[in-house]
Amino acid sequence: MTTWQEFIKDFSEMSIFLAYNINVDAIKVLRSEDIQKLIDEFGADKIKKRLDEYPREINEPLDFVARLVHALKTGKPNAVPLMNPELNSWFDSKFKYETERIGGQVGIIANLLANLNFKRVIAYSPVLSKKQATMFVHRKNLLYPIIEDGKLSLKMPLEAYREDDPLKINRIFEFRKGTVFKLGSETIEVPFSGRFIVSSRPESVRIEIKEHLKPFLPEIGEMVDGAILSGYQGIKEHYSDGKTADYYFEKAKEDIRLLKKNKDVKVHVEFASIQNKKIRKKVVKEIFPLADSVGMDEAEIAHVLNVLGYPELSDRIFNYNRIHDVVLGGKIILDEANLEILQIHTIYYLMYITRRENPLSEEELRSSLELATTLAATRAFLGDIRNPGDIKVGTKIPYNEQGEFVKLRFEEAKRRLRSKEYKIVLIPTRLVKNPVNTVGLGDTISAGAFTSYLALLREKGLY
């Protein structure tokens, strides 16, 4: 099995392109008294009524409180878009944030890969404010693409930001397992640590590669070993200037084709919670088939299956989360989107589903997942990964207490399901009981899995 030290050595020779979403994360750790104060202010009955309505966007404070309570009851991470910009002042007057740091999948992954000593990390967002630029790690291998004198130039973010670019802030409410609060006569204990994200959707921030950079995407594709694309959850159905989601999805598809134009660079799409079903369906139907790899958690698998026309299987995964159903659902997604590989991350296990003809052995695939869970455990324990040596911490974190049970259920699922045409591997996660940080753990897992998968292909001379 490939060791983490061997992967780090491989990474020093690899380059990755990232797009589209960078923002600032304002983080608030919720305590029992914070939650109770909100419930007492809005009233348990009103919250329960709004909870039954299950708002998919935040247009008023009650929408936020209802969806927050849902996240706390289930212990599952979630993100809901803030559609009313007038609520920004309400949030900032109501909460004092513990910290602010770089966010968005691109921001989190860029800093991680740069600190893991990748040869070159090219991180792109259509907006780059000074505050965002300062939150990138200041390393010479982390670069932002700009055009100078008609040519592509790669600059450190602090040399490339634009004074007039808007600032995108996501508010992240972290909660801890065991936190107790009352909703009317009901006493609720949070079952798992996690986070609830109020994601901002400024009208001026569009998920796109700006037109002046587009002609240079084939050149960027030639420079890198892989691309990780994310942020499609930020696309809206309609914009004030008359543009629609269709316009931006056409542009997004064009981006992938241009990246692959001169070199068949492998593309990973990191899926995220998308409340809008129409947007979710467009990502699944239009973006997935152009990708080689996709990463998602079990709730996102359920959402994807729902728009693919498998509502019963979707409901079973969402309500019962049985490994048998996740494997079945993963195979469906792999086949319908014609993916090379699907990576699934849950609190208790990580899984790869790929086809039998995949050139990597099951042991090699497991070593890729092992690196991924070790990176996530390191980040959860330390709060961040600042250099490759930090990974030693993650190797000492034990696998979760459900590990053996999970492996048994997985072997049962493989026996019950027709899986000869696939390679399906699973490992238990290394689980930190009292994490310093839960934000970006899924992104850390997916980035570690995809880049180590590429490293293994390169080692064999297959890529």
Kindly report, residue by residue over 39-53, the tens digit of the pLDDT: 999 999 999 999 999
Pairwise CA distance, residues 61 & 455, whole Å: 46
Q: How confident is the model at residue 168 (pLDDT cuts 50, 70, 90)?
A: confident
pLDDT score at 201: 80
pLDDT score at 214: 97
Pairwise CA distance, residues 84 & 315, whole Å: 30
Q: Among 127, 112, 109, 119, which residue's Cα sits nearest to residue 18?
A: 109
pLDDT of residue 419 exceeding 90, the answer is no
Pairwise CA distance, residues 404 & 30, whole Å: 32
- Mean model confidence pLDDT for the chain: 95
Among 189-193, 203-207, 291-295, the range of highest mean pLDDT: 291-295
What DSSP character marks residue 165?
P
Q: How confident is the model at residue 390 (pLDDT cuts 50, 70, 90)?
A: very high
Pairwise CA distance, residues 53 & 62, whole Å: 11
pLDDT score at 202: 81
Is 443 known to be catalytic?
yes
Q: How confident is the model at residue 5 (pLDDT cuts 50, 70, 90)?
A: very high
Token pair for 456:
């293994």
- Got the DSSP string for 18-82? EES--EEEEEEE--HHHHHHHHHHH-HHHHHHHHHH--SSBSSHHHHHHHHHHHHHHT--EEEEE
pLDDT score at 137: 97
Pairwise CA distance, residues 257 & 342, whole Å: 20
pLDDT of residue 335 exceeding 90, the answer is yes
Pairwise CA distance, residues 349 & 366, whole Å: 12
Q: How confident is the model at residue 167 (pLDDT cuts 50, 70, 90)?
A: confident
Number of H helices, E strands in the chain: 17, 17
For residue 395, CA distances in Å to 115, 221, 379, 433 come to 18, 34, 12, 15
Structure-token match 């998602």, residue found: 296
pLDDT of residue 361 exceeding 90, the answer is yes
Structural domains of the chain ordered from first start:
4-22+104-165+202-459 (3.40.1190.20), 27-100+167-200 (3.30.1110.20)
Catalytic choice (10, 165, 297, 443)? 443
Q: How confident is the model at residue 12 (pLDDT cuts 50, 70, 90)?
A: very high
Q: Which residues pair with 287 in a beta bridge?
A: none
pLDDT of residue 204 exceeding 90, the answer is no
pLDDT of residue 462 exceeding 90, the answer is no
pLDDT score at 275: 83
pLDDT score at 362: 97
What percent of the chain has a predicted confidence (pLDDT) above 90? Answer: 86
Token pair for 229:
């694309």
Q: Among 113, 112, 110, 158, which residue's Cα sits nearest to residue 132?
A: 158
Structure-token match 């991350």, residue found: 345
What DSSP character marks residue 288?
G
Q: Which long-range contacts (CB under 8 A, 24 or more apart) does 6-13 make?
A: 7/371, 7/452, 7/455, 8/116, 8/117, 8/388, 8/391, 10/452, 10/455, 10/458, 10/459, 11/113, 11/116, 11/117, 11/118, 11/119, 11/451, 11/455, 12/117, 12/118, 12/119, 13/119
Pairwise CA distance, residues 158 & 168, whole Å: 17
Q: How confident is the model at residue 338 (pLDDT cuts 50, 70, 90)?
A: very high
Q: How confident is the model at residue 151 (pLDDT cuts 50, 70, 90)?
A: very high
Pairwise CA distance, residues 393 & 435, whole Å: 13
Instruction: Calculate the dihedral angle through the C-alpha atoms of 205, 130, 381, 372, rounding to the nearest 10 degrees.
Output: 60
Token pair for 305:
């299956």
Kindly report, residue by residue over 74-103, the tens digit of the pLDDT: 998 888 999 888 898 899 899 999 989 999
pLDDT score at 418: 81
Residues 6+ apart with CB under 8 A from 120: 15, 16, 141, 143, 154, 223, 224
| Mean per-residue pLDDT, 189-208 | 90
Count of beta carbons in the 10 Å neighbourhood of residue 120? 18
pTM: 0.89
pLDDT score at 434: 87
List the Cα angle 180/183/188 in 5-degree steps. Answer: 35
| C-beta of residue 193 within 8 angstroms of C-beta of residue 176 | yes
Pairwise CA distance, residues 22 & 350, whole Å: 26
| Mean per-residue pLDDT, 256-284 | 95
